[in-house]
Amino acid sequence: MAGETAQHAADGPVPPVVRLRDVSVRRYTTDQVILDAVDWTVRPGEHWALLGANGAGKTTLLRLLGALMHPTTGSVEVLGATLGRVDVRELRAHIGHVTSAQRVPEDLGAHTVVLTGHTGTVQPLWRMYDQRTRERARELLAELGIKELADRPYGVCSGGQRARILIARALMADPALLLLDEPFNALDLPSREDLIEAVHQLAEGRPHLATVTVTHHLEELSPAIGHALLLREGRVLARGPVGEVLTGERLTACFGRPITVARREGRWAAWSGRSGSTPPPPAG
């Protein structure tokens, strides 16, 4: 992968981080269509929100981006490599994937959990971690604002702290693409806001990193999110700059009920209720 990237740089512009062309996924046992004719391009430095109702196909789409499955038809290119023509194990080493369902031994300290991102293992492989690697793990904890958790067992950390530990772990491989699968799930308001700020600063400090965040709530989007894709029943309903996609009309079509959208200082709010009802303003 590194050689491919260097060759692209020598030949011309850096290619998209992700390019999907007419991608469909069907469940073989039932022939159910999960994704249908999806086209999507993500470029370096872009930050995307992926939204849709339960069952819309978000998880399947994220698995394609993470090189965890192949499409039934169509072409999926990730980091310049086409799925089906590349060793996916090598490709996955350049993709950061964070999900709250990630298996992590709860007795491991936060620093050790981050270290395991270097080897892509659940348990630490101590012989593989030199002093520079250990220092990098501490630097990432500091970057995510949780350096004081280095020796705290993962199992006693809060949900928000766990999310930031997992992001730091994913960054150990210095990925070009970071996939965040509902990272705000079950967080209280302070933890959510801390994580949003951490993700925002991460995006600002890494200009070439591309991210895709799956969420159900517009309030969870950081100001760094510049693009959005809406999925409905496996098809792309809309994609592009957030100002064009995250509208009341399009979200109403996406979720199947009237939705009103507001935006203030880069933060979003969405609600559905009686005509004329007004929610609290979004955070500044």
> Hey, which residues does 205 pair with through a beta bridge?
none
- The residue type at 123: Q
Per residue in 19-68, pLDDT tens? 999 999 998 888 889 999 999 999 999 999 999 999 999 999 999 999 99
pLDDT of residue 5: 41
Contact 121, 105 (CB under 8 A): no
C-alpha distances out from residue 209 to 10, 152, 216, 223, 267, Å: 20, 29, 23, 15, 21
pLDDT at 3 over 60: no
| Stretch among 119-123, 218-222, 274-278 having the lowest mean pLDDT | 274-278
Question: Hey, where are the domains in the chain?
Answer: 16-94+176-255, 103-174
Tokens matching residue 162? 């766990």
Task: Give the mean pLDDT of 80-92.
Answer: 89
pLDDT of residue 278: 54
- Residue 95: pLDDT band with limits 50, 70, 90: very high
Query: For the chain, what percent of residues have pLDDT higher than 70?
Result: 92
CA pair distance 144, 88, nearest whole angstrom: 28
pLDDT of residue 13: 67
pLDDT of residue 56: 93
Per residue in 112-126, pLDDT tens? 999 999 988 889 899
pLDDT at 4 over 60: no
Other CB atoms within 10 Å distance of the CB of residue 197? 13
Prediction pTM value: 0.87
Helix (H) or strand (E) holding 42: strand 32-42
| Stretch among 7-11, 117-121, 265-269 having the lowest mean pLDDT | 7-11
CATH of domain 16-94+176-255: 3.40.50.300
pLDDT at 155 over 90: yes
pLDDT of residue 281: 53
pLDDT at 136 over 60: yes
| Stretch among 70-79, 99-108, 174-183 having the lowest mean pLDDT | 99-108
Nearest to 100 by CA among 215, 226, 223, 267: 215
CA dihedral in degrees (40, 45, 47, 50; nearest 10)? Answer: 20
- Residue 88: pLDDT band with limits 50, 70, 90: confident
pLDDT of residue 17: 95
Task: Give the mean pLDDT of 208-236.
Answer: 95
pLDDT at 284 over 50: no
DSSP string, 163-180: HHHHHHHHHTT--SEEEE
Task: Give the mean pLDDT of 132-141.
Answer: 96
- The residue type at 244: E
Helix (H) or strand (E) holding 64: helix 58-65
Task: Give the mean pLDDT of 119-136.
Answer: 92
pLDDT of residue 274: 56
Query: For the chain, what percent of residues have pLDDT higher than 90?
Result: 74
pLDDT of residue 7: 40
Q: Give 136 or 12, the one with higher predicted confidence.
A: 136
